[in-house]
């Protein structure tokens, strides 16, 4: 299970993730992190069986938690396979295959959206929020 964690100014300097690991005994894999002095955003991967415990613990610590579902979507029919998205992906979820076709590893994608504005033909999009 992948989760997006958003930290506001009041908790950005607290060891919230370390406390959560210690309290729940769950290993957490950080897949993406963007943190500055005023806010932070992490994408983490956790075992499905520990999801409820992790989510509850983080929310009690005033962390905004969003479960990530469907990853980015690429219009295969209109993609020109230029590779602009390949070099910009921070987790290497987008790559060229041996046949020079751009592919997306949806299990690696963290829905950061970096590739969306990088696509010159606009065939990449994030799933609509529900």
Residue 73 DSSP label: E
Residues 17 and 124: their CA atoms lie apart, in Å, by 32
* CATH number of the domain residue 8 falls in: 3.30.70.260
Residue 66 DSSP label: E
Question: Is 100 part of any domain?
Answer: yes
Residues 66 and 54: their CA atoms lie apart, in Å, by 12
Do 87 and 55 lie in one domain? The reply is no
Do 9 and 57 lie in one domain? The reply is yes
Question: Is 59 part of any domain?
Answer: yes
Range of the domain at 27: 2-68
What pLDDT, on a 0 to 100 scale, did the predictor assign at position 2? Answer: 86
Residues 92 and 115: their CA atoms lie apart, in Å, by 11
Query: Maximum CA pair distance of the chain?
Result: 49
Do 44 and 86 lie in one domain? The reply is no
40 neighbors 100 (Cβ within 8 angstroms):
no
Do 92 and 44 lie in one domain? The reply is no
Confidence of residue 126 (pLDDT cuts 50, 70, 90): confident
C-alpha distances (whole Å) from 23 to each of 46, 119, 128, 129 are 14, 42, 34, 31
What pLDDT, on a 0 to 100 scale, did the predictor assign at position 128? Answer: 65
pLDDT at 123 over 90: yes
What pLDDT, on a 0 to 100 scale, did the predictor assign at position 55? Answer: 93
Segment 52-109, tens digit of pLDDT: 999 999 999 999 998 887 778 899 999 999 999 999 998 899 999 989 999 998 888 8
Core vs surface per residue 43-72: b (16+ CB within 10 A) or e:
bbebeeebeeebbebbeebebebeebeebb
Question: Is 18 part of any domain?
Answer: yes
What pLDDT, on a 0 to 100 scale, did the predictor assign at position 129? Answer: 53
What pLDDT, on a 0 to 100 scale, did the predictor assign at position 10? Answer: 82
What pLDDT, on a 0 to 100 scale, did the predictor assign at position 58? Answer: 94
Do 64 and 11 lie in one domain? The reply is yes
Do 62 and 84 lie in one domain? The reply is no
106 neighbors 115 (Cβ within 8 angstroms):
no
Segment 20-64, tens digit of pLDDT: 999 999 999 998 888 887 888 898 989 888 889 999 999 999 999
Number of separate domains in the chain: 2
Do 24 and 52 lie in one domain? The reply is yes
């Amino acid at each position: 299970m992948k989760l997006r964690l958003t930290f506001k100014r009041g908790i950005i300097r607290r060891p919230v993730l370390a406390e959560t690991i210690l309290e729940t005994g769950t290993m957490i894999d950080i897949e993406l992190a963007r943190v500055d002095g005023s806010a932070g955003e992490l994408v983490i991967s956790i075992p499905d069986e520990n999801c409820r415990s992790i989510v509850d613990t983080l929310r009690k610590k005033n962390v905004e938690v969003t479960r990530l579902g469907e990853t980015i979507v690429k219009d295969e029919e209109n993609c020109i396979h230029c590779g602009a998205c390949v070099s910009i992906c921070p987790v290497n979820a987008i790559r060229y295959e041996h046949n020079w076709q751009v592919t997306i590893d949806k299990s690696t994608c963290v829905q950061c959206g970096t590739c969306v504005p990088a696509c010159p033909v606009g065939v990449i999009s994030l799933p609509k929020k529900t």
